[in-house]
Amino acid sequence: MRATKVVVLVVGSIALLGLVAGFITWVVLSNQNAPTPPPTEVIQLDWWKNCVLYQIYPRSFKDSDGDGIGDLKGIISELKHFVDAGVDAIWMSPIFESPMVDFGYDISNFYDIHYEYGTMEDFEELLDKAHELGLKVLLDFVPNHASNESEYFIKSEAREPGYENFFIWADPLPNPENPGVRLPPSNWVSQFGGSAWEWSEKRQQYYLHQFAIQQVDFDFRNPAVKQEMFNIMKFWLDKGADGFRLDALPYLIEADPADHEGRYPDDPLSGLTQFESHQLGYTIPLYTKDLIELYDVVYEWREFLDEYNKNHGGDTRVVFSEGYANVSMTMLYYGNEDGAIGAHFPFNFDFITDLSSKSNARDFVYIILRWLTYMPYGGIPNWVFGNHDNNRMPTRFRHDMVDGLNIINMLLPGVAVTYQGEEIGMRDGYVSWEDTVDIEACNRGDPDTYHLYSRDPARTPYHWDNSTSAGFSTSTNTWLPVAEDYQEINLAKQKETARSHFKNYQALTKLRKQATLSHGEYDIRALSDRTFYLVRSLPTHDTYVLLFNVSERRDTVDLGRVPHLTLPATVYVSSIHSARLAGHEITSSQLSLEAGEALVLKAQPI
């Protein structure tokens, strides 16, 4: 009897196991035959939240009339370049009337176009044609200061009613040692060197200029000045501009004498013995930069713009803020903890200020995550790799890193910002002391040191082709010399070549239209000191993985450590010096990357 029970138990157990195994088999087969789930639905983003934004330096972009200076008609003639490149919006460095001491950043008339660039009719034509092509157009607005040739300054210097306090004016300090020699109101140092104060014989007072003597600082504690800024913005918005880049905002507000016994307080000394009292770096700009009051002005501008958008309808007009500051002060441009809303985003200069050819993979990951960590909830990130004020991207990093850097820009979430020429890997051009025109280099440097300060090398004319003056102008006498490497690095050649920086750029801007990049999650981590990965993923959509060796040596990495990467995977884009072409299949988890090599892999959805 006992034996019979054992047999029954054994047979029953076997039957039960058979049923379980059959059920599992049925589930597996059912899942194999199940239809693929539909792609995740995504909500369309506002145009600016995932755009490719291209900075034009008008003086160096395209010359239409042979005078060696770029102009608006030149930009109009090449608008299709932006469409071909996959750009969504352009912003132009200042095109307003100016004596050109600082090449447009010293504006004498905020309501008109500088004659070397064209006419108001040219600007209106540019707007119309750009909009027809689906391009947004942003202007560079310089609210911190105006030219000393502006009507504002002329009237203020003459103490004309309504303009007396348009700028920062101050009496000289008493000089107990030599009463006949004037002393400036404080020890503040200009960004371009020398005292930030300049004496006006006509008014018998000093005026403040945080930049060149000819760039006079507005007084933003004066309601009339604030109102005039609204008037200027409304004028250009009514013309059809899609928004503004706001220049030099950290210098908008200075210490109030009312808080310092009626005088402008001295900045504390830095203690750096290599600097003299007239040199930038001698003091710490405690009272002249990043004052908390300036953010309220930015919040007011955003409120004004939101109201304009509400009243006029159409696509969103935007403001993007420029300011080199620490991460905490920079994030305040987005808004504050009390609910105030600021710029649509502040430009992120971390790739310029905190990374270079000496940075390793962990540095890259840290700097990227720092912005994303500090950014307020709901903020839109952006990535800037170069501009008209800094050495060009391939010069600061390495020539073999161009594609990898452009890939980072395009694959990270948010807005990708391109400075003109980065799409073809343009490098700094050589500009001799004799040819140097940058006021910062001329003021702070000499024939032996000017190159330490000059911004001219990043502003040399665009390389369209290998003809006269790189196709920028029919003249051989251009405002800055054309870089000597234009015959090797130019747009026409890169369009014809099978593999080029420009063709990679086009592939990347096309890829940005994929939902994975516009809406997907990100994951970034260093695999070694040399190589890091960036994963972009979205359920039911293809996964994209960047692998970038930022070092000067070969590196072998284990792809098994990369989340959401299933093999085999396909190369979507590769650096032009990579042995792997688009379409190449990666099957092994051990992958070797050459110095500077970057790959974008396309893998199965998660």
322 counts as catalytic: yes
Q: Residue 487's pLDDT band (boundaries 50, 70, 90)?
A: very high
The per-residue pLDDT for 25 is: 47
Topology of the domain comprising 52-143+223-251+290-505:
TIM Barrel (3.20.20)
Topology of the domain comprising 521-605:
Immunoglobulin-like (2.60.40)
For 43-135, strand residue ranges (E) read 52-56, 89-92, 96-97, 109-113
The per-residue pLDDT for 179 is: 87
Is 269 marked as a binding-site residue?
Answer: no
Give residue limits of the domains in the chain.
52-143+223-251+290-505, 145-217+255-289, 521-605
Is 63 marked as a binding-site residue?
Answer: yes
Yes or no: domain 145-217+255-289 corresponds to CATH 3.90.400.10: yes
Give φ, ψ of 49 to 5 degrees.
Answer: -75, -20
Active-site choice (97, 102, 219, 247): 247
The per-residue pLDDT for 6 is: 40
For the cut 60, the answer to whether the pLDDT of residue 547 exceeds it is yes
For the cut 50, the answer to whether the pLDDT of residue 426 exceeds it is yes
The per-residue pLDDT for 41 is: 79
Is 254 marked as a binding-site residue?
Answer: yes
| Peptide bond connecting 568 to the previous residue in cis, omega within 30 degrees of 0 | yes
The per-residue pLDDT for 381 is: 98
| Percentage of the residues of the chain whose pLDDT score is greater than 90 | 92
Distances (CA, A) of 452 to 104, 193, 442, 446, 457: 22, 13, 11, 10, 11
Amino acid at 548: F
For the cut 50, the answer to whether the pLDDT of residue 27 exceeds it is no
The per-residue pLDDT for 33 is: 52
For the cut 60, the answer to whether the pLDDT of residue 590 exceeds it is yes
Is 256 marked as a binding-site residue?
Answer: no
Q: Residue 36's pLDDT band (boundaries 50, 70, 90)?
A: low
Is 46 marked as a binding-site residue?
Answer: no
Whether the Cβ atoms of residue 305 and residue 344 lie closer than 8 Å to each other: no
247 counts as catalytic: yes
Whether the Cβ atoms of residue 169 and residue 155 lie closer than 8 Å to each other: no
Among 74, 119, 89, smallest CA distance to 461 is for 74
The per-residue pLDDT for 180 is: 86
User: CA angle at residue 75 from 70 to 81, to 5 degrees?
Assistant: 125
For the cut 50, the answer to whether the pLDDT of residue 527 exceeds it is yes
Q: How many CA atoms lie within 13 A of 518 on its CB side?
A: 20
Is 88 marked as a binding-site residue?
Answer: no
Is 324 marked as a binding-site residue?
Answer: no
Pick 34 or 491 by higher pLDDT. 491
Residue range 50-83, pLDDT digits in tens: 999 999 999 999 999 999 999 999 999 999 999 9
Residue range 157-191, pLDDT digits in tens: 999 999 999 999 999 999 988 988 999 999 999 99
**Averaged confidence pLDDT in the chain:** 94
For the cut 70, the answer to whether the pLDDT of residue 555 exceeds it is yes
Three-state secondary-structure class, residue 144: coil
For the cut 50, the answer to whether the pLDDT of residue 430 exceeds it is yes
